[in-house]
Structure 1
Amino acid sequence: MRETPISTCEKSFLLEALWEGKRIDGRGTLENRDLEIVYGLDWGSVQVTLGKTMALAQVSCQVVEPTFSRPNEGILTINVELTSLAAPKFEGLRNSDDGVEIGRLLERTLKESRCMDLESLCIVAEEKVWEIRLDIHILNHEGNMFDAASIAGLCALCHFRRPDVTLKGDMVTIHPLSERDPVPLGIQHHPVTTTFGLFEYPGGETLYVIDPSQIEEEAMLGKMVLGVNGYKEMCTLHLAGQVVVDKKMILRLANIAAEKSKKAVDKIKESLKKDEATRQSKNPRGFAAKTRSDSLLHSSAPKSSFDFVRVVPLARAVINANKNMEADDSVTSNDGDIVHVASADMEQDDQEEGSSYEEDSDVEVTGVMSKEQILQSKVTEKIELKDSDSASDSEEEEVVMLDKV
């Protein structure tokens, strides 16, 4: 399936923006996209995300016979797969031009630069050696597959562990991972590629941008890929396209690639240390754990500490302040009854349904009366009743006082 080519209007707009120092995604001409490295549960399994470009690398090993030209060295094989999962244009193409180009570039960067000690992979000279196979799958193509594949391959080789081997006479014993700890590969240096997109102005001037996106790759006339390790040593130089490049530009791009590669190598080493610490602490790791941590349903706020030593004095201070406020906002009557007077700024939250509340009330308290005083105030008249007892000889009279309300 063929992709829709870039239109003339899009290309003109892109070139005009580049000559003004602007890019469509908001980056600068020498600004990389965000790099993210995630390691899997197995040794040598790495997923690298460069912007929206994703590459998955997996390393495996087996015991084989060495080659006739190098009988004392192991074998490093690199395989790159481009399927329709990465882009529709790769559908039905087993060996596309882009896949072959990336594979050859990685062989020059990782294999011919001797970044891995192949002699340490020899078990028995001229008989048995380790074959290390590096498989790289491009999961999503959004530009600059070279850098994504290069970083993924280097991270996978640094992360991989092969089984330990013992040799007794002519008998070779390969110990499983459950019996002995695996052995890491001998990585001598870390070469990382940096891709530059080259554009040519009608006047003949050449413009370059770092880490081109997919739409920029379709509009550019050439590209330059420089492989530099952490020691600023040149390992690979790949130039393609129809753009004229002078030696001054090559030296300038080489210095820029050296700085970018050093930062990438530092990030790779930091990610390896972080993964090792996670494995030792037995925390959740792998692709699934990374997906869960990035999910909105499992997002968590950073932990914060609370000092409980200051709780007691602060609580006492609040209690004392409340006591002082209660003493100021209360009135004591002569009968010992206490009436609390609410302050003006206090809000009344709990109100019964159907009750009306007026903020500006004309009612004010003029006095406080007890229950006995209220009953005495309601008495209006007193009646005296006289009752004589005829059966008794005494002349005593019983007076009964009735209060009429």
Structure 2
Amino acid sequence: MKETPLSNCERDFLLKAIQEKKRLDGRETYDYRKLKIMFGTDYGCCFVELGKTRVMAQVSGELVAPKDNRPNEGIMFFSLELSPMASPSFEHGRQSELLVKLNRQLERCFRNSKCIDTESLCVVSGEKVWQIRVDVHMLNHDGNLMDAASIAAIAALCHFRRPDVGIQGDEVIVYSPEERDPIPLSIYHMPISVTFAFFQQGTYLLVDPCEREERVMDSLLMIAMNKHREICSIQSSGGIMLLKEQVMRCSKIASVKVSEITELITKALENDKTARKAGGKCGFAESMPQERITALKKEETSVEMTDATERANNIILEAEVPPQTSQSLVVPLPGMGQVGQGLKNRQGLEEDEQDEEEASNSDEDQEAVMEVETTQKAQGDVVEISDSEEDEVVILQPEKTDRVQKKTSSSSQLKGPKASKKQQRK
């Protein structure tokens, strides 16, 4: 398990706050974080929130063969899982030191304390007994996993109901919940773990340490106790030795905390039992709002259209006039495509436009020449020499008519009667 180390500044800040009897979340020295207990739809499912630490416990049972040395007793089995979903420091499928320590502490807390009557789990001596399995899953790690796991496990065991069984000859019949009501487990007491953290060689003490406080602590003490002030198990881990006075002081604090947590578990069980009898929603899964999102289903809501026109007119009047952009400023480059109302697309139209411009220019030139010719014909200043391809049309002033006649006479001798007719007209 690899944890991200704290910086020296953060470590010094935490230790300085503990010396001043202050904590990060504003709690006092002996205060627990907010504890919330919820049960699932099925029997034996419990969800516990201790601050930001979240744990889920699920209890299941099956008929198995008993152990050879205990043929008349059932079997209790505990399985704890630290998934990477709870913390990035946890590795999937690998037993870390923390996982082994928590699993052993759970077994000592419940199995060795004889909190459950294992003899009541026997169906046929030496042949069939009930095996009760408790699976504890860590959903989020924010410190004090042992306390949250013990609360979730004992609450799930109290909430669990095993099927009723019957024996007919050599055959064992397991009845369904519809045929016979399930039977709860026989629980003598509820052991609950309380964790204490020591700092600076045992000088300072905190109850229910969070994840950052666990990183800077020197030692850890876990005491499992029931409401009758009976110590079920005790375990210390760390590099310091604790005095007898310190252990006695922690046991007195634990007795108060255990009685409060036991009352909270009992109240949660009663509320769940009342809700199931009333036929209402029970369990954290059923209490969550189920909002199904579908692609084809739409919830239609009625819309009043009485004042729609008046509101639209008011919105139009109050709205600001958008600035008008002049199209003359928008000069598209050759080959540029534009999208929008009133904009021209120049992509792939360069050659066509060049041809059109050349044709328009030639047409304009011809029109200008024709206009000049018509005006000069009207004034009598234009002399048309010939309509052949070799001759050109020359516009002459009245002063230069003599020179033009000499040229036309020479050309008329070559071209024939057309030129003579023109000379006679002139």
Q: Which residue of 2 aligns with 1:221?
A: 218
- 1:211 has 2:208 as partner: yes
- Answer yes or no: is the 8 Å Cα contact 1:38–1:290 preserved in 2: no
Q: Which amino acid aligns with 1:3?
A: E
Q: Which runs of 5+ in 2 are unaligned?
A: 291-426
- Give distance in 1, aligned partners of 2:193 and 2:70: 27
- Give distance in 2, aligned partners of 1:90 and 1:196: 23
- Answer yes or no: is the 8 Å Cα contact 1:198–1:243 preserved in 2: no
Q: 2:264 aligns with which of 264, 267, 278?
A: 267
Q: Secondary structure at the match of 1:244?
A: coil
The 5-angstrom pairing of residues 48-127 of structure 1 reads 48-127=48-127
- Give distance in 1, aligned partners of 2:199 and 2:7: 16
- Answer yes or no: is the 8 Å Cα contact 1:33–1:51 preserved in 2: yes
Q: Which residue of 1 aligns with 2:155?
A: 155
Q: Which amino acid aligns with 1:63?
A: L
Q: Which amino acid aligns with 2:258?
A: S
1:109 is displaced (CA, Å) by: 0.3
Q: Which residue of 1 aligns with 2:379?
A: none
Q: Secondary structure at the match of 2:129?
A: strand
TM-score by length of 2: 0.67
Q: Which runs of 5+ in 1 are unaligned?
A: 294-405
Residues 95/166 of structure 1: CA separation in 2 closer, same or farther (3 Å cut): same
Q: Which amino acid aligns with 1:122?
A: C
- Answer yes or no: is the 8 Å Cα contact 1:22–1:28 preserved in 2: yes
Residues 75/220 of structure 1: CA separation in 2 closer, same or farther (3 Å cut): same
- Give distance in 2, aligned partners of 1:190 and 1:292: 33
Residues 176/289 of structure 1: CA separation in 2 closer, same or farther (3 Å cut): closer
- Give distance in 1, aligned partners of 2:142 and 2:29: 17
- 1:286 has 2:283 as partner: yes
Q: Which residue of 2 aligns with 1:232?
A: 229
Q: Secondary structure at the match of 2:48?
A: strand
Q: 1:249 aligns with which of 237, 246, 251?
A: 246
- Determine which structure has the larger helix proportion and give its number: 2
- Give distance in 2, aligned partners of 1:268 and 1:290: 19
Q: Which residue of 2 aligns with 1:173?
A: 173
Residues 119/287 of structure 1: CA separation in 2 closer, same or farther (3 Å cut): same
- Answer yes or no: is the 8 Å Cα contact 2:82–2:92 preserved in 1: no
1:54 is displaced (CA, Å) by: 0.3
Residues 205/218 of structure 1: CA separation in 2 closer, same or farther (3 Å cut): closer
Please give the per-residue CA displacement for 1:27-85, whole angstroms capped at 9, x wherever unaligned.
01100001000100001001000000000000111100000111100000000000101
Q: Which amino acid aligns with 2:15?
A: L
- Give distance in 2, aligned partners of 1:250 and 1:234: 12
1:284 is displaced (CA, Å) by: 1.2
- Answer yes or no: is the 8 Å Cα contact 1:72–1:125 preserved in 2: yes
1:93 is displaced (CA, Å) by: 4.4
The 5-angstrom pairing of residues 14-29 of structure 1 reads 14-29=14-29
Residues 98/63 of structure 1: CA separation in 2 closer, same or farther (3 Å cut): same
- Give distance in 1, aligned partners of 2:287 and 2:6: 35
Residues 35/168 of structure 1: CA separation in 2 closer, same or farther (3 Å cut): same
Q: Which amino acid aligns with 1:109?
A: C
Q: Which residue of 2 aligns with 1:2?
A: 2
- Give distance in 2, aligned partners of 1:82 and 1:4: 17
Residues 205/145 of structure 1: CA separation in 2 closer, same or farther (3 Å cut): closer
- Give distance in 2, aligned partners of 1:288 and 1:126: 39
Residues 97/180 of structure 1: CA separation in 2 closer, same or farther (3 Å cut): same
- Give distance in 2, aligned partners of 1:47 and 1:288: 10
1:152 is displaced (CA, Å) by: 0.4
Q: Secondary structure at the match of 1:288?
A: helix
Q: Which amino acid aligns with 1:5?
A: P
1:205 is displaced (CA, Å) by: 5.2
1:7 is displaced (CA, Å) by: 1.4
TM-score by length of 1: 0.70
| Structure 1 segments (4+ residues) deviating >4 Å | none
Q: Secondary structure at the match of 2:288?
A: helix
- Give distance in 2, aligned partners of 1:184 and 1:223: 35
Q: Secondary structure at the match of 1:10?
A: helix
Q: Which amino acid aligns with 1:82?
A: L
The 5-angstrom pairing of residues 319-398 of structure 1 reads none
- Give distance in 2, aligned partners of 1:205 and 1:153: 30
- Give distance in 1, aligned partners of 2:252 and 2:288: 37
1:19 is displaced (CA, Å) by: 1.0
- Answer yes or no: is the 8 Å Cα contact 1:199–1:243 preserved in 2: no
Percent identity over the alignment is 44
1:171 is displaced (CA, Å) by: 2.0
Q: Secondary structure at the match of 1:176?
A: coil
Q: Which residue of 2 aligns with 1:194?
A: 194
Please give the per-residue CA displacement for 1:218-262, whole angstroms capped at 9, x wherever unaligned.
110110000010111100101000122100010010010011001
- Answer yes or no: is the 8 Å Cα contact 2:74–2:119 preserved in 1: yes
- Give distance in 2, aligned partners of 1:64 and 1:165: 13
- Give distance in 1, aligned partners of 2:65 and 2:202: 53
- Give distance in 2, aligned partners of 1:85 and 1:199: 29
- Give distance in 2, aligned partners of 1:152 and 1:274: 16
- Give distance in 1, aligned partners of 2:286 and 2:6: 39
